[in-house]
Amino acid sequence: MRKIHLALVAFSFVALAGYAFAQQAAAPARPVPPNLPEWAWGVMPPAPPAQPGAAAAQPPAEDGTILHIEGSSVGLTRTQLRGIPTAPDWHPEDHGPMPDIVSKGRMPAVRACGFCHLPNGRGRPENAAPAGLSVAYFTQQMEDFKNGLRRSSDPRKANVNTMAGFAREATPEEIKAAAEYFAALPIPQGWVKVKEVSMVPKTKIAGNVYFELEGAQAGKEPIGNRVIEVPEHGQERFEMRDGHAGYIAYVPVGAVKKGEALAKNLQCSLCHGANLEGLGPVPSLAGRSPSYMARQLFDFQTGARHGLWSDLMKPIAAKMTAEDLVNITAYIASKNPPAAGVQQTARAN
């Protein structure tokens, strides 16, 4: 039994995530900025009104089945896949021992960091990739979340509020342990494969993430001024939290070159390192999710993110047009991070 197809499991997770989002989205609304680059947020169509008496989506019942994925000898049950009692870890060879806060969290106040950000820190487009971030930067971000200085420009993106809640609840010792753990992990080369296209595969959005449509629904549409980032190996491996299943970022033709010119003009490498691999405490950009990066740049622009160090980014992001956001993030994502090992030596600070 090498591999079990779990389309149904995947579907239920998405439905459940959507339900959780709907519940949290009831918070008092800040207005959504009119020029929000929706592609980066994976803005979902409004949920249909609940049918009276309809049961909320439930994850499939635990029946003890051991699930497998390609390329891993680990077997996990459905309960384990939901992070109970520890974050699912298909690739333990990727990382050293996880501190409790990363692997188990401290429920109910703090969910395991490794559940969303994955045990290898590569993250997912709807959250962030903390792998290889300096301890100083990581710790400052937790402070900024805690102090309400890091929010999402789109108040509907509930998981940023959830993240801020964890930052408020986590102890300094837990944050230190998590920061040191993630700082030691590299983002691998080719994690995001950038492809320039004029026509992009048609997609659906679930849990703020894009998935290519399959079968009769599959097709193409003009990419327009967007980056569309999709799991390279499909929805199932994404939902199974496979930390070896990377992404394809479809970008408009010519975007990488235009982004490169902009990066040169605005001197990103001055602070982020010659190859955008991170410099001292300043975070790496190379090879990280373009959707995440665009959200951050827009958040600096609107001031939704105005942490202690954000003043350095504000004037740079302020100049960016909607097209610049597409081009610059296409370029950043296309840059390969340094090979494993190099980054850590460079980040000893």
Site for ligand HEC contains 17 (CB under 6 A): no
Binding residues among 330-349 for ligand HEC as defined by CB under 6 A: 332
Site for ligand HEC contains 235 (CB under 6 A): no
Nearest distance in Å: CB 184, ligand HEC: 14
* Joined tokens for residue 239: 């939902």
Considering CB under 6 A, how many residues would be counted as binding ligand HEC? 47
Site for ligand HEC contains 290 (CB under 6 A): no
Count CB-CB contacts under 10 A for residue 257: 14
Sign of CA dihedral 289, 294, 295, 297: positive
Place of tokens 């959830």: 162
Site for ligand HEC contains 36 (CB under 6 A): no
Binding residue for ligand HEC, selected from 268, 286, 304, 330, defined by CB under 6 A: 268
- The answer to whether 75 and 66 are in contact (CB under 8 A) is yes
- Stretches 29-37, 123-131, 217-225, 228-236: which one binds ligand HEC (CB under 6 A)? 123-131
* Joined tokens for residue 278: 């991170």
- Stretches 10-18, 28-36, 155-163, 232-240: which one binds ligand HEC (CB under 6 A)? 155-163
- Stretches 59-67, 68-76, 138-146, 250-258: which one binds ligand HEC (CB under 6 A)? 138-146
Site for ligand HEC contains 266 (CB under 6 A): yes
Site for ligand HEC contains 130 (CB under 6 A): yes
Binding residue for ligand HEC, selected from 91, 295, 335, 347, defined by CB under 6 A: 295
- The alpha-carbon radius of gyration of the chain (Å, integer) is 19
Site for ligand HEC contains 133 (CB under 6 A): yes
CA distance 281 to 112: 24
Nearest to 223 by CA among 335, 323, 321, 332: 323
Query: Considering all CA atoms of the chain, what is the largest pairwise distance in Å, rounded to the nearest integer?
Result: 58
- Stretches 128-136, 219-227, 237-245, 338-346: which one binds ligand HEC (CB under 6 A)? 128-136
- Stretches 5-13, 191-199, 211-219, 312-320: which one binds ligand HEC (CB under 6 A)? 312-320
Site for ligand HEC contains 267 (CB under 6 A): yes
Binding residues among 40-69 for ligand HEC as defined by CB under 6 A: none
Binding residue for ligand HEC, selected from 131, 263, 325, 330, defined by CB under 6 A: 263
CA distance 51 to 293: 37
* Joined tokens for residue 30: 């800040």
Contacts 24+ apart (CB under 8 A), 63-67: 65/4, 66/1, 67/4, 67/6, 67/9, 67/240
Binding residue for ligand HEC, selected from 44, 118, 128, 333, defined by CB under 6 A: 128
Binding residue for ligand HEC, selected from 36, 227, 293, 326, defined by CB under 6 A: 293
- b/e 170-201 (16+ beta carbons within 10 angstroms → b): beeebbbbbbebbbebbbbeebbebebbeebb
Site for ligand HEC contains 194 (CB under 6 A): no
Beta carbons within 8 Å of 13's beta carbon, 6+ residues apart:
59, 239
* Joined tokens for residue 151: 């929010």
Binding residue for ligand HEC, selected from 116, 135, 206, 333, defined by CB under 6 A: 116
Nearest to 164 by CA among 281, 40, 17, 304: 304
**Interface contacts to ligand HEC, rule CB under 6 A:** 101, 110-111, 113, 115-117, 127-128, 130, 133, 138, 140-142, 152, 159-160, 162-163, 166, 170, 178, 263, 266-268, 270-272, 282-283, 285, 292-293, 295-297, 305, 307, 309-310, 312-313, 316, 328, 332
